[in-house]
Amino acid sequence: MARQLTPGQRLGLISKWRNPPGQSEQVRLERAERMVKEAVRQHEPFLGLDITVASKGSYPNNTNVRGDSDVDIMVKLNDPSHTEGPAEWWFGPRHTGPWTKDKLRQEVHAALVGRFGPVNADGNLAFFIPEVVNSRPSIDVVPCFKWVVYDPTAAGGRYEGSVVYGRDGKKVINWPELQLANGRAKNTNTKLRYKFVVRVLKNVENDLAAEGVIKALPSYFSECLIYNVPDSVFLAGEFDDAVRVSLLEVHRQLTSLFGPSRMREPNGMKKLFGPGQKWDEKDARNLITSAWHYLGYEG
């Protein structure tokens, strides 16, 4: 079991953790994103194409913490868009033409090499560009296509995300724009406490993993767990109270009969637990109970 913070230590760390990394770190992250955009813009095969180059994950969502300061950037080809199932019967196959998954990956790789020099292309999904100390963080660049799900209940009749095809033949569907919009709305509804609590749990997870109390987990997992806390819970008492009752609420959901099956990722589209996830319910329970002890809420 991890050491236990005193109330004074907890309050001091929470006050520190509630804020994102400083301005110098922000500058480094912005530089990384700008360099990838320049690489794509200057790559001749991409001229005239509808391509979105944007960061995704904790950096644009303002939930990044020190120690998790790398940046994930998607290079998304929007036309042709990809879909599957009944939508193809009505709208026809969308992923046709010269831009296959292999061609997209090849050209993104070439664009990055032209800007950064040799990059690591061994990853299943992303290209890895190492950190340059005091200049920019490490960068994961994901080549992907726009992914469309048609739904008459959605705004505009469709949900839009991205799909990346791994070198192992599997595809991974993500919803970065929905994650961004839902996170911003929840943060506003909770008077900015949602993202503060996320950063606290991410820092706690880093400490617990460093001490060997729990296995290291993706930082996004902490954001997922806290996203499932109802907005009203965050507004209880002082900020320390908001952290405490948020952990209690996540634990309640994890240990109730149908709670885990109802939990969702911040994009609202994917279930939090199930096939293809990098975590399971046991990981969640270990994290929350260990965080509860570490923060000294047992006393």
- Compute CA distances 102 → 4, 106, 150, whole Å: 50, 6, 26
Beta-bridge mates of residue 255: none
Q: What is the pTM of this model?
A: 0.89
100-115 pLDDT per residue, tens: 999 999 999 999 999 9
pLDDT for residue 5: 92
Q: Are 199 and 192 in contact (CB under 8 A)?
A: no
141-170 pLDDT per residue, tens: 999 999 998 888 888 888 999 999 999 988
pLDDT for residue 118: 93
Average of pLDDT values for 116-128?
95
Residue with tokens 């095969």: 45
CA 104-135-15 angle, to 5 degrees, is 105
Q: Is the pLDDT of residue 92 over 50?
A: no
Q: Is the pLDDT of residue 95 over 60?
A: no
**How is the chain split into domains, by residue range?**
7-17+181-294, 23-175
pLDDT for residue 89: 46
Q: Among the listed ranges 23-27, 175-179, 258-262, which one has the minimum average pLDDT value?
A: 23-27
The strand pair at 139-150 and 71-82 is best described as parallel
* Residue 242 CA to its chain's centroid (Å): 22
For domain 23-175, give the CATH number. 3.30.460
pLDDT for residue 23: 73
231-280 pLDDT per residue, tens: 999 998 999 999 999 999 999 999 999 999 999 999 999 999 998 899 99
188-231 pLDDT per residue, tens: 999 999 999 999 999 999 999 999 999 999 989 999 999 999 99
**Spatial separation of the C-alpha atoms in residues 105 and 256, rounded to whole Å:** 43
Q: Is the pLDDT of residue 1 over 70?
A: no
pLDDT for residue 276: 85
Beta-bridge mates of residue 129: 139
Looking at residue 153, the DSSP 8-state letter turns out to be T
Q: Which of the two residues, 297 and 22, has the higher pLDDT score?
A: 297
Residue with tokens 């990722």: 265
| Amino acid letter, 118 | P
**Spatial separation of the C-alpha atoms in residues 137 and 81, rounded to whole Å:** 31
42-83 pLDDT per residue, tens: 999 999 999 999 988 776 777 777 766 678 999 999 988 888
- Compute CA distances 214 → 54, 203, 205, 288, 292, whole Å: 32, 13, 8, 10, 13
pLDDT for residue 69: 62
